[in-house]
């Protein structure tokens, strides 16, 4: 399993990739594998404010429906609308085309509480 090295992870299997003061958020390859085939994704509207650890949407897969949790606090500035018609991107490209939202961070200090690649690997036993 390849892990992008520029990401921070949550124990709930979300990732964030920083671009300036904006973080792109998605779920990990491990999470999509545990869920199975993703058939529907519910994401927030642009302008919504989310708090770290708060649910910002759901992923519906053949096996289950799972909440998505914000890895950091901020305002939703972009939503991946491609997932409306192609939810399978979450399975095929969890670190690329399967991204979910972009957040303008309200507290960049929250990034320090996230897992790095090594810690995340230990969490999932890889």
Q: What is the gyration radius of the CA atoms in the chain, in angstroms?
A: 13
Query: What integer pLDDT is reported at residue 3 of this predicted model?
Result: 57
Could you tell me the pTM of the whole model?
Answer: 0.94
Number of helices (H), then strands (E), in the chain: 4, 9
20: left (phi over 0), alpha (psi -120 to 50) or beta: left
CATH number of 27-108: 2.40.50.100
**Residue 24 pLDDT:** 96
Residues of the chain with pLDDT under 50: 1
pLDDT score for 5? 64
């Amino acid at each position: 399993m390849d892990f992008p090295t520029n990401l921070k992870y949550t124990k709930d299997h979300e990732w964030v990739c920083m671009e300036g003061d904006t973080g792109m958020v998605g779920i990990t390859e491990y999470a999509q594998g545990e869920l199975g085939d993703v058939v529907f994704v519910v994401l927030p509207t642009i302008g919504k404010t989310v708090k770290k650890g708060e649910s910002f949407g759901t992923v519906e897969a053949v096996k289950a429906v799972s909440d998505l949790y914000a890895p950091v606090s901020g305002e939703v500035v972009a939503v991946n609308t491609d997932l409306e018609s192609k939810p399978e991107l979450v399975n095929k490209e969890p670190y690329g085309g399967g991204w979910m939202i972009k957040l303008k961070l309200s507290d960049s200090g929250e990034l320090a509480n996230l897992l790095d690649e090594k810690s995340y690997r230990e969490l999932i036993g890889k």
